[in-house]
Amino acid sequence: MTERRRDPVTGEWRTFATDRQDRTFLPAADQCPLCPTTDPARPTEIPWPAFDVVVFDNRFPSFVAEPGTPAVAAHGPFAVSPNAGAAEVVVYSDDHAASLGGLGRERIELLVDVWTDRYADLGARPEVGYVFVFENRGEAIGVTLHHPHGQIYGYPDVPPLPARELAAARAYHDAHGACVYCAAIAQERADAERVVAENGAFLAFVPFAARLPYEVHLAPKRHAASLLALRSDERRDFAGIIDDLLRAYDGLWGFPLPYVMAMHQAPTTGGDWSPISHLHVEFTPLHRRADRLKYLAGSELGGGAFLNDVAPEQAAKELRAAGRSGQNT
């Protein structure tokens, strides 16, 4: 069963792809489907003996370019739609034991360019209305493959969280004639105490009203609606600040910090999103201290209201210190 159903109560679309129940789950290193194929008798997903970055259609996709007919028809208040879109896997390296934070700046720069190319490519497809680049890292987050990789979903429309952000940005723009994210960045730089790292074009900061204890956002300091709006020097700075943040995360408690990385940028539904969309990446680790996770429970899952156990100013201070010590090792 692969289809989308709209919840008439919230107006949100939910995606069903039941084949994903059987996807590869935490295989042994010598069974990894994302490693290069070194023995033709035992091919992996990637048919080359070595590679830098590879992107391919997910074997267990949530969205496809030519979806089948939904199993149920729309009826009453229930709307149904095919899973039109795209689901890609982005493999960062042929080194099974590597991670995004340990790849080195040059490889992250290549990856930023690959994300930009995929955004242009997928965004031009008629069935794709929002290109969503993301990574789940660590078993605490729920990864099923340890090989360093991320994913890209091409949603047919704008998913709920970016849609809420864009609606708020539209209201702010209507009231003030400016981008709300630009205003937030300017204030974060002025306050300084939540800034984790900064370079020529990008800022890393724990948001003033962060949802999770060590949540960090990365954003260009000037207004840029999407990856396509970045100049080559700005893409290099983007790679640099990702590297800086991951060094801080991994130095915080001495182990690779599990996180969800989610990139928000201009929808590709048509229309002029440029004034209100501000490219940014949200990193959301689930740890609230080295040995405890922040679970999404009653208030967060039931009420949609986040309770945060760590002051953003304190989290930023710890991450700055961890980043400094990471530079010295």
User: Which of 60, 53, 56, 61 lies closest to 45 in space, CA to CA?
Assistant: 56
According to CB under 8 A, which one of 226, 239, 248, 315 is a site residue for other proteins?
A: 226
Q: How far is the CB of 139 from other proteins (least distance, A)?
A: 27
Amino acid at 25: F
Cβ–Cβ < 8 Å for 328, 205: no
Phi and psi torsions of 51, nearest 5°? -160, 165
Strands (E), 138-215: 149-155, 195-198, 202-205
Q: Tell me: does residue 225 bind other proteins (CB under 8 A).
A: yes
According to CB under 8 A, which one of 222, 256, 311, 317 is a site residue for other proteins?
A: 222
Q: Tell me: does residue 272 bind other proteins (CB under 8 A).
A: yes
> Toward other proteins, which CB reaches closer, 14 or 231?
231
Active site residues: 149
Q: Tell me: does residue 113 bind other proteins (CB under 8 A).
A: yes
> Toward other proteins, which CB reaches closer, 91 or 252?
91
For strands 259-264 and 216-220, give the pairing.
unpaired
Amino acid at 268: T
User: Which of 159, 173, 132 lies closest to 277 in space, CA to CA?
Assistant: 173
User: Which of 90, 108, 98 lies closest to 243 in space, CA to CA?
Assistant: 108
Phi and psi torsions of 311, nearest 5°? -65, 135
Q: Tell me: does residue 62 bind other proteins (CB under 8 A).
A: no
∠ CA 248-53-92, nearest 5°, is 30
By CB under 8 A, the residues from 294 to 313 that bind other proteins are: none
Half-sphere exposure of 244 (CA within 13 A, CB side): 22
Number of residues that bind other proteins (CB under 8 A): 42
Q: How far is the CB of 50 from other proteins (least distance, A)?
A: 10
Q: Tell me: does residue 280 bind other proteins (CB under 8 A).
A: no
Place of tokens 């493999």: 91
> Toward other proteins, which CB reaches closer, 197 or 229?
229
By CB under 8 A, the residues from 20 to 49 that bind other proteins are: 43, 45-48
Q: Tell me: does residue 52 bind other proteins (CB under 8 A).
A: yes
Q: How far is the CB of 184 from other proteins (least distance, A)?
A: 16
Q: For residues 81 and 95, what is the distance between their CA atoms, to the nearest angstrom?
A: 39
> Toward other proteins, which CB reaches closer, 181 or 283?
181
> Toward other proteins, which CB reaches closer, 45 or 318?
45
Q: Tell me: does residue 117 bind other proteins (CB under 8 A).
A: yes
Q: For residues 24 and 145, what is the distance between their CA atoms, to the nearest angstrom?
A: 8
Q: Tell me: does residue 76 bind other proteins (CB under 8 A).
A: no
By CB under 8 A, the residues from 120 to 149 that bind other proteins are: 120, 123-124, 126
> Toward other proteins, which CB reaches closer, 185 or 257?
185
Q: For residues 187 and 127, what is the distance between their CA atoms, to the nearest angstrom?
A: 38
Q: Tell me: does residue 177 bind other proteins (CB under 8 A).
A: no
Applying CB under 8 A, which residues contact other proteins?
Answer: 43, 45-48, 51-57, 59, 106, 110, 113-114, 116-117, 120, 123-124, 126, 222-226, 228-232, 266-274
